[in-house]
Structure 1
Amino acid sequence: MSIPPATWKKQAQDNSRNNASAADNSELEISLEQDQRWLASLVHGDDKYLDQFVLEQRGKPVGWATFFVHPSALRVTLNGWTLYSHRIRRYTLFAPPLLDNRAEPDQLQNLQNLFMLVHSQLGKNEAIFLQSVTDGSALAQLLTENSPLREQFHIFEYGKRYTHRFIDFTGDYDQYLKQLGSSTRNDLKRTRKRFLAAVNSHQTVCYRSADQINDFLDAAMAISPRTYQYTRLGGGLRNRQQLARQYGITARHGWFRSYVLFADQQPIAFQVGHLYNGCYHAQEIGYDPVWAKLQVGIFLHTEILPDLIDSDEKVKRFDFGNDDSLHKKRLSTTAIIQSYVYLVPRNGRNNLTVKIMRTFDQISETIGRLLEKYNLRKYADKLLCSKN
């Protein structure tokens, strides 16, 4: 007996019934970024909302895709300098669509049909942004050079591919340390020894409940304005009212799990994170640069891991997040390669913008190679920071 075709349908914005059934389905491996309740916590203001699509087969939901819709821009940049911004409304998909095993087996066709449906509703200044396209995945296979979607979209990677790193826990904290290189283990020991020798007292506080959110924000937001992420990258903790609302929602769902390191009763480092289905998602992190030489971010990491491993919540994985660094490389045990991908509808203005973006990307790559060749990268980075 043949399987009837599955069909994507757009859900009304106030209809969360189908998503709830996905979250409650024990056979599905749902990530934090696929849970509509998590995505709803990101919505604030009138210019942001969720657009949900459900794949139905025989009248039952067998697939889900929820886009976070928000203002953004297509930027023409040259080695970090923004030369031109084309304002758009972006349909961001933080994780691949969630497909039930009951869905028809042709994943590529299901994904293609989803993006064609979304394309049919996009305005001239709207585009799709995929945040986590994993090499070798069905989504990556769909977006190759011969993809049928290229008739409707410009499809291109935004920035370079990145390494998404994790720790997979196989035992206690000592077992984790054994998975690391000997030099890394020794560095962690030295970091802890140096920090403990430099302070009279220290405390690492874990914040989990909704009634602890204000205390966490008091401490973390005292640190954040001094961090590199805040002063140089435009990141950090900024809108207290928005953060209090977001973290309050996630705390009530039991996911919020964030930490602050205190030295001599003063907050010096923080980690925002969420624990979901056995995976700890490390998100916003920051430390007071006055303490940089003591590597307080690494020290906080060595405080968080034993707390997670020793908890009763069966933590199986630590997710370092989408960006990469040498520290994450040394501290992780596994990794995947991912990329950010834009699907920009083809029209006159978009065609020109994308062509210019690609041209300047090629110029930037050439300049970057020259900077590396003549060891000028650090000087260019300093100049860029001074302009921001």
Structure 2
Amino acid sequence: MSAVVQPLKFQVGARTLWSIPRRLVRVPLSLADVLEPRVPPLPSLGDAADGILVTSLPEARVAAVTAQAPGLIAFVRQRYTRYFADLDGGFDAWLGGMSANTRSGLKRKAKKLAKRSGGTLDVRAYRTPDELAVFHPIARTVSERTYQEALLGSGLPATPAFVRAMLAAAAADQVRAWLLFVDGFPIAYLYCTAEGDTLRYDYLGHDPEWSDWSAGSVLQVEAMRVLFAESRFARFDFTEGEGQHKRQFATGGVACVDLMLLRPSLANRAAIAALAGFDRTMALAKRLTRKLRAEALVRRLRRH
């Protein structure tokens, strides 16, 4: 594995205040890696690399992985749950695993969108190369309007290289994609690729003008309905990171971290100290904000 430049970001929400570039050998763990009870081996570290970044490492294996690199400094950059949904229990059982309020809300949102579309949800599925060639330019029109692309730069890629990879994967039956339309106008998309018997949640986006309609959630439910009926995949991987959308639709999850293992240089020690101090400050600010909001709510309740 070769090292690539990875910015160590100082972020407040989605906004990056500044970053420190480091050349890291990235070791991204798949859902199968996460679920298997084994310790992933670390790659060798070339002379040009500053260190290694292991993503989606189960917390229970941090010590064992760190022990493989006694000469490097270990630093946990973030913690999150790697969510997934088992696809072997049937759609009704999956939906039944949610709270009654959640099910009711999803049903109400779907009916609202269906009514707006003339009585039936207009969800279209894409899986073959010809179908994906139609899907991509339409989905791009949605992605261009999403906050994921505007703020995070993580919308559906538009590059020729991505399109070639998408069509090749589709030819190998390793792509599933969906679009949600209203009055013939696309408002949400979901694009997923396969990794063995796991389908990975790669890109999801919706037109911000339809945010109040929960278009992304409605599309996710309809996609899951198709996947359960198809019985082609064993699991749906919601990938790295947290989020209400992932928690709502998952059937399980594993506590994971992103672990950096850096050379013990003065520059790397300074970078780690700066990141750790910034993270502590942000965590304190969040706690204070929650406390102030709670106190304000109590004051309002006392006045009534």
TM-score for both structures, normalised by structure 1: 0.68
Letter in 2 for 1:129: L
- Residue identity (%): 24
Report the secondary structure of 1:223's partner residue: helix
| Residues 1:188 and 1:326: Cα distance change in structure 2 (over 3 Å) | same
| Residues 1:262 and 1:335: Cα distance change in structure 2 (over 3 Å) | same
Over residues 46-66 of structure 1, what are the superposed CA-to-partner deviations in whole Å (9 max), with x where a residue is unaligned? xxxxx2xxxxxxxxxxxxxxx
Does the alignment pair 1:85 with 2:19? yes
Letter in 2 for 1:360: F
Report the secondary structure of 1:136's partner residue: helix
Matches within 5 A, 1:57-206: 69-76=3-10, 82=16, 84-95=18-29, 111=41, 114-115=42-43, 118-119=44-45, 121-123=46-48, 126-137=50-61, 140-143=62-65, 147=67, 149=69, 151-159=70-78, 161-200=79-118, 202-206=121-125
The CA distance in 2 between the partners of 1:192 and 1:78, in whole Å, is: 34
The CA distance in 2 between the partners of 1:77 and 1:228, in whole Å, is: 16
| Residues 1:276 and 1:72: Cα distance change in structure 2 (over 3 Å) | closer
| Residues 1:80 and 1:210: Cα distance change in structure 2 (over 3 Å) | closer
The CA distance in 2 between the partners of 1:346 and 1:219, in whole Å, is: 48
Deviation at 1:308, TM superposition (A): 0.8
The CA distance in 1 between the partners of 2:17 and 2:113, in whole Å, is: 43
**Contact 1:164/1:321 (8 A) holds in 2:** yes
**Contact 1:95/1:130 (8 A) holds in 2:** yes
Letter in 2 for 1:185: R
Letter in 2 for 1:246: A
**Contact 1:79/1:368 (8 A) holds in 2:** no
| Residues 1:194 and 1:81: Cα distance change in structure 2 (over 3 Å) | closer
**Contact 2:14/2:152 (8 A) holds in 1:** no
Over residues 344-383 of structure 1, what are the superposed CA-to-partner deviations in whole Å (9 max), with x where a residue is unaligned? 111122222222222222222222222222239xxxxxxx
The CA distance in 2 between the partners of 1:327 and 1:148, in whole Å, is: 35
The CA distance in 2 between the partners of 1:187 and 1:93, in whole Å, is: 39
Letter in 1 for 2:5: P
**Contact 1:79/1:364 (8 A) holds in 2:** no
Over residues 98-127 of structure 1, what are the superposed CA-to-partner deviations in whole Å (9 max), with x where a residue is unaligned? 99xxxxxxx66x83xx45xx13x242x532
Report the secondary structure of 1:155's partner residue: strand
Does the alignment pair 1:229 with 2:145? no
| Residues 1:97 and 1:348: Cα distance change in structure 2 (over 3 Å) | farther
Give 1:266's aligned residue: 185
| Residues 1:98 and 1:326: Cα distance change in structure 2 (over 3 Å) | closer
Does the alignment pair 1:321 with 2:239? yes
| Residues 1:75 and 1:206: Cα distance change in structure 2 (over 3 Å) | same
Report the secondary structure of 2:144's partner residue: helix
Deviation at 1:189, TM superposition (A): 1.4
**Contact 2:114/2:122 (8 A) holds in 1:** no
Matches within 5 A, 1:374-385: 374-375=292-293
Give 1:278's aligned residue: 197
Q: Which has the higher contact order (CA 8 A, sep 6+)?
A: 2
**Contact 1:79/1:367 (8 A) holds in 2:** no
Letter in 1 for 2:140: M
Deviation at 1:311, TM superposition (A): 1.2
**Contact 2:14/2:151 (8 A) holds in 1:** no
Letter in 2 for 1:88: R
Of 280, 283, 288, the match for 1:365? 283
Equivalenced residues, count: 290
Over residues 126-145 of structure 1, what are the superposed CA-to-partner deviations in whole Å (9 max), with x where a residue is unaligned? 321111101224xx23246x
**Contact 1:261/1:300 (8 A) holds in 2:** yes
Does the alignment pair 1:291 with 2:213? no
Give 2:257's aligned residue: 339
**Contact 1:220/1:260 (8 A) holds in 2:** yes
**Contact 1:96/1:133 (8 A) holds in 2:** no
Of 127, 131, 135, the match for 1:216? 135
Task: Kindly report the root-mean-square deviation, in angstroms, between the aligned alpha carbons of the 2 structures.
Answer: 2.7
Give 2:297's aligned residue: none
| Residues 1:306 and 1:374: Cα distance change in structure 2 (over 3 Å) | same
Letter in 2 for 1:227: T
Deviation at 1:96, TM superposition (A): 6.9
Q: Which moved more, 1:326-335 or 1:184-193?
A: 326-335
**Contact 2:31/2:239 (8 A) holds in 1:** no
TM-score for both structures, normalised by structure 2: 0.85
Unaligned runs of 5+ in 1: 1-50, 52-66, 100-106, 377-388
Deviation at 1:174, TM superposition (A): 1.5
The CA distance in 2 between the partners of 1:230 and 1:180, in whole Å, is: 30
